[in-house]
Amino acid sequence: GAVVSQHPSWVICKSGTSVKIECRSLDFQATTMFWYRQFPKQSLMLMATSNEGSKATYEQGVEKDKFLINHASLTLSTLTVTSAHPEDSSFYICSARETGLVWQPQHFGDGTRLSIL
């Protein structure tokens, strides 16, 4: 089945550091990938939709300059949390949908736990 790989699994860093998270679709091409944020015991909240070769679409309230998204190829999207602060600590999850199959469900990576000290 479809596999989405997310890296790294866990990041601990100092306040003010920028952190990059990668999301790769391993056995399919994904024109569109999605980035979610999840706080403990809460649901997934969509942050942005990443579109290959174009700008990401951000949900209301998500700072574009804070959460930089790059989708340079059909199998890779990256999320960079710039100048991270403790309030950015969270579980970040990406998902991908196979290109050309609009109604195919999203497949998720295993998430990245970000802890800012």
Site of interaction with other proteins (CB under 8 A): 4, 6, 32, 34, 36, 41-46, 49, 57, 59-60, 91, 93, 95, 97, 102-103, 105-111, 113
Residue 12 Cβ, how far from other proteins at the closest point, in Å? 15
Task: Give whichever of 27 and 83 is closer to other proteins, judged by the CB atom.
Answer: 27
Task: Give whichever of 79 and 111 is closer to other proteins, judged by the CB atom.
Answer: 111
Q: How many CB atoms lie within 10 A of CB 53?
A: 9
Residue 115 Cβ, how far from other proteins at the closest point, in Å? 13
Q: In the block, which residue shows the tokens 């091409």?
A: 29
Q: How far is CA 32 from CA 41, 58, 80, 110, in A?
A: 27, 13, 17, 18
Q: Could you give the CA distance from residue 8 to residue 94 in angstroms, rounded to a whole number?
A: 12
* Residues 55 and 70: beta-carbon distance below 8 Å: no
Residue 88 Cβ, how far from other proteins at the closest point, in Å? 18
